[in-house]
Structure formats: structure tokens, C-alpha cells
């Protein structure tokens, strides 16, 4: 369809899972794509080879403000700027709060929430120069509903929603939109490892009676990055099969 023809996107955490699906779909819709990875150099290089010209991978630490600045500078030099920022990188360190260490809390907050500040703050000027920009932040249905054993993860994902709604109000006058995607249970490496009983328990709560696919998240991100969503700002789009 070419929804993103003429646009350039910067996508964090793009080497695997949902991130890789977003990279592939954006390229299929005509975008040039810069994406980051933390440690998955092999999958990142394979994805670049698969997709070819117009796609570059950058190793970057999302939790580092300085690294985010260097990333934005390099991508701006390599691509001449960008129109879309997808903050997708994130981690989990699941355990009950009674057992949670300060390190587990801080690690999730730094990688999931502080990373959003790090990169979005650095990206605002390039986005303003583009004339119109779209920031897409990856939250989770857990950020809305909470989840036992994920107090750190849920708090970080809820913080992303508040951050995004505030940014939408700040930057709307500059023609920069900010929206949130909140996936439900999506088929990834993590869900593949779930015990069958737990998996069935999750399925019983989902009206569509199936897990989502990474490509279904990518399609929503493409919508938010395209002109089809030109009047969508400050919204949380749940992609969860009706779970919420």
C-alpha cells in the first residue's frame, strides 16, 4: 500500500520479536528504517541483509542518555533526519514485590521508562525539522490493568502512558503527534516458553480466543506513523483481542 513512502523511521529494539516485525512492515510500506539492538548483533545483521538498502542497524543502550544522543546524531547524519520514532525497546524482570530487589526495579525502570525520556528528548529537534512527526511508544495492557509479579514492569508501562499523553499536549502545536500502543498477549519467544496451563488460562480471558501476532502490532504502528492517523494524538490503542 505504501503507507509510509517517503518517511524515515527510527525504531528501538528492532532486531527480534515485535520490534523486528515493525521494521519489516515499515519497510514493506515504503519507509527507510534505522533500528537499534542491545546485544542481538547476529539477528540485527541478518535483518539488514534480508531487507537490503534503506535499512541500518545501530547498537545502542536505551538506558543511557548519552548513548541516545549519539544515536540520534548518527541516524540524522546517515538518513538526513527522520519522521517517525518508535520506542519499542524494553525488558522484564518478573517477580513478586516481596522478593523484588532494588536492582530489578531500577533495571526495568531505566530500560523501559527512562529510555523513553532519553530518546524522545533527543529526537524532538529532528522531528520538528521534518515538519510533522509521529512518536509511537510501546506500553502494554499490563500498564493499564496491572499484573501480579510484574509491579516494576507494570509501573514502567503505566508511566509511558502518562509521559505520552503529556508529550502529545506539549508538541501538538509543532505538528508532532504522540500515541501509545498497548499490546496484550502476543506470540513471542517469551510466550512460547509459557507452561500450557498458564497459556490456556490467558486464552480463556481473551474474547478472540487466541494470542496476537507481532505483525498485528506492526500494522497499528504503521497506521500511527502514517497520514491515516493525522488527527490521532495522545491516544492509547489496545491491541489485545478484547482483553481490556
Residues involved in catalysis: 153
Question: Is 14 within any annotated ligand binding site?
Answer: yes
**Apex 13 CA angle, 7 and 17, nearest 5:** 100
What DSSP line would sit under 64-80, residue for residue?
Answer: -HHHHHHHHHHHHHHHS
Question: Is 15 within any annotated ligand binding site?
Answer: yes
Question: Is 88 within any annotated ligand binding site?
Answer: yes
Question: Is 154 within any annotated ligand binding site?
Answer: yes
- What b/e readout covers 169-203, taking b as 16+ CB neighbours within 10 angstroms? eebeeeebbbbbbbbbbbbbeeeeeeeeeeeeeee
- Is residue 163 within 8 A of residue 155, CB to CB? The reply is no
Grid cell listed for 142: 499490563
- HSE of 106, CA atoms in CB hemisphere, 13 A: 3
In 153-223, DSSP assigns E strands to: 176-183
- Is residue 115 within 8 A of residue 62, CB to CB? The reply is yes
- End-to-end Cα, the chain, rounded Å: 30
Question: Is 231 within any annotated ligand binding site?
Answer: no
Residues annotated within the binding site are 13-16, 88, 153-157, 186
Residues annotated within the binding site for NADP(+) are 13-16, 88, 153-157, 186
Amino acid at each position: 500500500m505504501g503507507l509510509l513512502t517517503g518517511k524515515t523511521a527510527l525504531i528501538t529494539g528492532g532486531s527480534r520479536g515485535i520490534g523486528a516485525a515493525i521494521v519489516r512492515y515499515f519497510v514493506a510500506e515504503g519507509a527507510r528504517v534505522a533500528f537499534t539492538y542491545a546485544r542481538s548483533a547476529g539477528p540485527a545483521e541478518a535483518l539488514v541483509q534480508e531487507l537490503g538498502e534503506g535499512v541500518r542497524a545501530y547498537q545502542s543502550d536505551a538506558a543511557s542518555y548519552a548513548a541516545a544522543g549519539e544515536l540520534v546524531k548518527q541516524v540524522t547524519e546517515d538518513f538526513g533526519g527522520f519522521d517517525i520514532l518508535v520506542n519499542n525497546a524494553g525488558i522484564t524482570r518478573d517477580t513478586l514485590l516481596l522478593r523484588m530487589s532494588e536492582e530489578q526495579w531500577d533495571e526495568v525502570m531505566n530500560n523501559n521508562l527512562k529510555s523513553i525520556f532519553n530518546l524522545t528528548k533527543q529526537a524532538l529537534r529532528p522531528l520538528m525539522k521534518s515538519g510533522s512527526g509521529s512518536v509511537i511508544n510501546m506500553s502494554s495492557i499490563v500498564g493499564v490493568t496491572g499484573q501480579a509479579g510484574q509491579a516494576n514492569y507494570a509501573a514502567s508501562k503505566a508511566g509511558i502512558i502518562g509521559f505520552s499523553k503529556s508529550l502529545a499536549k506539549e508538541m501538538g502545536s509543532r505538528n508532532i503527534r504522540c500515541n501509545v500502543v498497548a499490546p496484550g498477549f502476543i506470540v513471542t519467544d517469551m510466550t512460547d516458553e509459557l507452561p500450557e496451563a498458564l497459556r490456556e488460562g490467558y486464552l480463556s480471558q481473551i474474547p478472540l480466543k487466541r494470542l496476537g501476532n507481532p505483525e498485528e502490532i506492526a500494522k497499528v504502528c504503521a497506521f500511527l506513523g502514517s497520514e491515516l492517523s493525522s488527527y490521532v494524538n495522545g491516544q492509547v490503542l489496545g491491541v489485545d483481542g478484547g482483553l481490556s
